[in-house]
A and B are shown apart, each in its own frame.
Chain A
């Protein structure tokens, strides 16, 4: 059985007690029922938390952009304006839902949901901590790439069905951009898969450690370049500036969601902000050590040993530390994404395609070959361990 939130909770005594109690109550083996309920609750928690993060993302975006431009930003609703996203949400729900008369109604309604489904389906494999992830699929990272590509279909259909020239151009740009930049991103992911030797996200993270020199980012020079290739490609895949051509305000009004109003527009926006979180999380899991905490604090063994805590409590503390580690790194990347948006000017369409096909894709392929050669030549050792081993040899420690 793969490790999921259920297998983590099943280690505790309370879990088996609940299963035994329910089995006695309803008269048949309640194991699957409890597992199902735990999954349902965990999925609700993840979706709710991520929707809040997406909402807060809009707030963060406005506040950080205000900071960068020496403005105040939202500051009326709640302390420091932090409840602004709730006010926005209420506004969007209450707004009239307009479907243009000449729009293709079926695809017009479907498009925002395709975007949402594509993003929320990827949440199943996002590794929040070693115990708290919904599913650790054997093909986890590949599944994530596949599901995320649904967003492209959503963007394109949104642009096409609106029956407006701006939306159409935005949708076409969006779809071509997403399928183009998928290539360098996926090739870079493959080069990291090569280092870890598995597609499961847990395998990818377990190949790394808590300290920066154990991360794949500093494993070898190719992985270091690969991180930036992946990050740029991820920016483009999520339609973030400087690659926000599909929604370029100055030329296309609002791009593929020009004709959308109310909550349908809200779904597009929410999907975008959650996708930024997901790709940041993937970058963290692939390159920045994921949820790993330095000195193996995440397993909780040290708390049992030094503080004499109960094993399960120690494990829970470890999980909280891991959650903290993952979210800290991810939010740091999230900040960089917003920071980049308000710093760099937008690319032109031809520059966008040049960057993808003439620079990022060859670099990504070069990185893939480089990683393969590195694994063969240095037996999979990281650059840090090579330097320190040779230093130890020089110093006479064998």
Chain B
């Protein structure tokens, strides 16, 4: 009962947020809707008992990524004037009814084909039993430090590269006086 309610709320939040991200014309607003959608995803993680993953989702996305996106959008000048000097809208619509219809049809057909392929996998997969409040942190930590140490190291090298790159880009260039 409680898990179902939580799942429904999270699913509505995720899908509604995602739809709003796409449909809103203001880039800033779509960042805010993205925040709602990411919260919904955190709720979905919580539904399946992945408490650590849910909290990580909050810390990384709500705290870091969304603020950085907001910063980036703000520095590009926002979408305050999307009318050019001839009075025409700079941002044209992405398509018309015909293209939307074709795209929707294609998406439905493709997803049906994929679902047909995946159906056997889902059917054989037994439903995971949700054990109440079992800590996942220790298991995750053990797995990360033993079986998946390579992935862990690769991602840390990637992050180090990003850090060095950011430092190199943002460093003031020395003027050569000779």
- Whether the pair B32, A139 counts as a contact (CB closer than 8 A) is no
Partner of B70, one of A110, A153, A182, A200: A153
User: Could you tell me if B51 and A160 are in contact, using CB atoms closer than 8 angstroms?
Assistant: no
A118: nearest chain-B partner, CB-CB: B62
The complex places the Cα of A302 from the Cα of B135 at a distance, in Å, of 33
**A385 within 8 Å of B by Cβ?**
no
Q: Does B18 contact A (CB under 8 A)?
A: no
**Chain B residues within 8 Å of A139, by CB:** 51-52, 54-55, 137
B71 touches A175 (CB 8 A): yes
What's the interface size class on B, roughly?
Answer: 20 to 34
Q: Report the stretch among A57-65, A85-93, A140-148, A241-249 that lies at the interface.
A: A140-148
Q: A110 vs B28: C-alpha distance in the bound complex, in angstroms?
A: 12
Q: Chain B 40-60 against A: per-residue CB contact (8 Å), 1 yes, 0 no?
A: 000000000001101111110
Among the listed B29, B70, B135, which residue makes an inter-chain contact with A106, where contact means beta carbons less than 8 Å apart?
B29
Nearest Cβ on chain A to B44's Cβ, whole angstroms? 15
Q: What chain B residues lie within 8 Å of A146 (beta carbons)?
A: 55-59, 62-63
Q: Which of A220-246 contact B (CB under 8 A)?
A: none
> Is A145's CB under 8 angstroms from B59's CB?
yes
A87 to B26, CA, bound (A): 39
A153 B66 Cβ-Cβ under 8 A: yes
Given A147-B58, A175-B71: A153 and B64 interface contact (C-beta under 8 Å): no
Q: How far is the CB of B163 from chain A (nearest CB, A)?
A: 12
Asked whether B13 is an interface residue with its Cβ less than 8 Å from the other chain, the reply is no
Whether, in the assembled complex, B74 has its beta carbon less than 8 Å from a beta carbon of chain A, the answer is yes
B28 with A142: CB separation less than 8 A: no
Minimum Cβ distance to chain B for residue A18 (Å): 20
* 0/1 interface trace, chain A 123-166, chain B, CB 8 Å (1 if under): 00000000000000111001101110110110011001100000
Nearest CB of chain A from residue B131's CB, rounded to whole Å: 12
- A369 CB to closest chain B CB, in angstroms? 16
For A199, the chain B residues whose CB sits under 8 A away are 52, 137
Tell me the complex Cα distance, A1–B62, Å.
Answer: 28
Interface SS of A by simple majority? helix
In the assembled complex, B67 has its CB within 8 A of some CB on chain A:
yes
Report how far A163 CA is from B111 CA in the complex, Å: 44
Known: A104-B28, A138-B136. A156 touches B51 (CB 8 A): no
Q: Which residue of B lies closest to A148 (CB)?
A: B63
Complex partner residue of B133 from A2, A107, A142, CB under 8 angstroms: A2
Is the C-beta of A179 less than 8 angstroms from some C-beta in chain B?
yes
- Contact of B21 with A by CB under 8 A: no
A157 to B70, CA, bound (A): 8
User: Given the complex of chains A and B, what is the CA–CA distance between A170 and B32 in angstroms?
Assistant: 19
Complex contact B137–A150 (CB within 8 A): no
Q: Is the CB of A138 within 8 A of B51?
A: yes
For B135, what are the chain A residues with a Cβ–Cβ distance below 8 Å?
138, 198, 200
Q: Which residues of chain A come closer than 8 Å to B70, judged between CB atoms?
A: 153, 156-157, 160, 175
Contact B67 A153 (CB under 8 A): yes
When distances are taken between beta carbons in the complex, the residues of chain B under 8 Å from A104 are: 26, 28-29
- Chain A hits for B59, CB < 8 A: 142, 145-146, 149, 186
A153 touches B52 (CB 8 A): no
Per-residue CB proximity of A162-183 to B under 8 Å, as 1/0? 0000000000100100110010
Give every chain B residue within 8 A of A145 (Cβ-Cβ): 55, 59, 63
6 sampled A-B residue pairs with Cβ under 8 A:
A1-B132, A107-B29, A142-B59, A146-B62, A147-B58, A153-B62
